Amino acid sequence: MKYNLKNETQKWVEETYEKLKTKLSAECDRIGTKIPYIAEEGVYKENKAESDIIWWTNGFWPGMLWQMYHATGDEKYRMAAEGVEEELDKAFDIYTGLHHDVGFMWLHSAVADYRITGNERSKARGLHAAHLLAGRYNPRGKFIRSWNRDRSGWVIVDSMMNIPLLYWARDILDDPRFEYVAMDHADTIMEKTVRGDGSCNHVIVLDPTNGDLLDTPGGQGYESGSSWSRGQTWAIYGFALSYRYTGKKEYLETAKKVANYFIAQTDRTGHVALVDFRAPEEPVYWDSTAAVCAACGLLEIAEHVDEFEKQFYVEAAVKMLKATDEKFCNWNPEYDSIVQMGSGSYHTDHDKHVPIIYGDYFFMEAVLRLLNKDILIW
């Protein structure tokens, strides 16, 4: 898609891409087939392939590698991505710990591999993951359950970013069952998670016997009724993607409603996001990952609206990316991670104001998208 960028923005995007190539080349050489998560003092010390193979973020590093391979053709990215994909087979072996985030894990690894190379083994892995996700569907409540343990009625908005795996399986198998599950789930999220003002709950608790709404815990936000910023972005991008794959207009309208709310909130804070938009003014907690994820969702929306509306979303995305670059990015190729000051949740300290792998992924995806060098991984 052509975004009709202003000259100064086009120059910034091209310069940022050159910095991405330098940085990711160095990181690929250092990290290889390890699976990074949070950088500590500029080093990805933990390897999730060894410490927690079922961790939900384990697909973002191979996603970055496939994006760079697609953009540059450099074989080292493909080789490293294939190595991570093989590591993730251990998660299938464990099975019982797997969760609603299998889309995050295998869309970025096996499905990306199949889309780019046609690898049949990768297609099988992707379909395996899709069947696992579909198996979490509750037909009485019309939702895909989140997490495990004793939470049979719990659903989180993050799940909207995982159901593109089901749309992909629908197309690969020519089987509408996967779409029915995905759309039932999206409809439930749309009705019971998105509020009238465009903000979203992070967590909803449903009666697993009939789908009635029982509770709305605060989840990773400040409290029940608050507005966890990254949760808003999962809704923006997730509903825009569901519109792409189904054409259901309500999904696009929902994505736009949440996007307009998010843009209004971040306009107040220099186009970057607080962890929660409805939390005490002090202390100030930032989540750099929310704005870069939102930017990707805004660019997705821009692909589905008319010319007179498109530029609003493109310009908002660019403002968020530039602000993130100015305030939070570290481009030193000897330093692991790019986007600093990410936060996993409001109330935890171990993952507050740290560089988290998905922040780098979404920043990269947005920049490549503006240059028409990306591959749609979702």
Return the ∠ at Cα 53 (arms to 49 and 59), rounded to 5°.
85
In the set 74, 89, 101, 215, the catalytic residue is 101
Q: Are strands 137-138 and 203-206 parallel, antiparallel or unpaired?
A: unpaired
Sheet holding 213-215, edge to edge: 154-156, 203-206, 213-215
Q: Is 306 a catalytic residue?
A: no
Q: How many residues does the chain have?
A: 378
DSSP states of 186-233: HHHHHHHTB-TTS-B-SEEEE-TTT--EEE---TTSSSTT--BHHHHH
Instruction: Give the Cα separation of 343 and 283 in Å (integer).
Output: 14
Contacts of 98 (CB under 8 A, 6+ apart): 54, 91, 92, 132
| Beta bridge partner(s), residue 203 | 156
In 3D space, the residue among 271, 364, 286 whose CA is nearest the CA of residue 323 turns out to be 271
Cis, peptide link before residue 283, omega less than 30° from 0: yes
Q: Is 101 a catalytic residue?
A: yes
CA distances, 313 to each of 34, 203, 306, 318, 352 (Å): 36, 27, 11, 9, 28
Tokens 């989180």 label which residue?
156
Please check whether residue 370 is in contact with residue 313, taking contact to mean a CB–CB distance below 8 angstroms.
no
Instruction: Give the Cα separation of 73 and 262 in Å (integer).
Output: 35
In the set 74, 93, 150, 158, the catalytic residue is 158
Q: Kind and range of the H or E element at 156?
A: strand 154-156
Please check whether residue 340 is in contact with residue 355, taking contact to mean a CB–CB distance below 8 angstroms.
yes
Instruction: Give the Cα separation of 212 and 202 in Å (integer).
Output: 17
Question: Catalytic residue numbers?
Answer: 101, 158
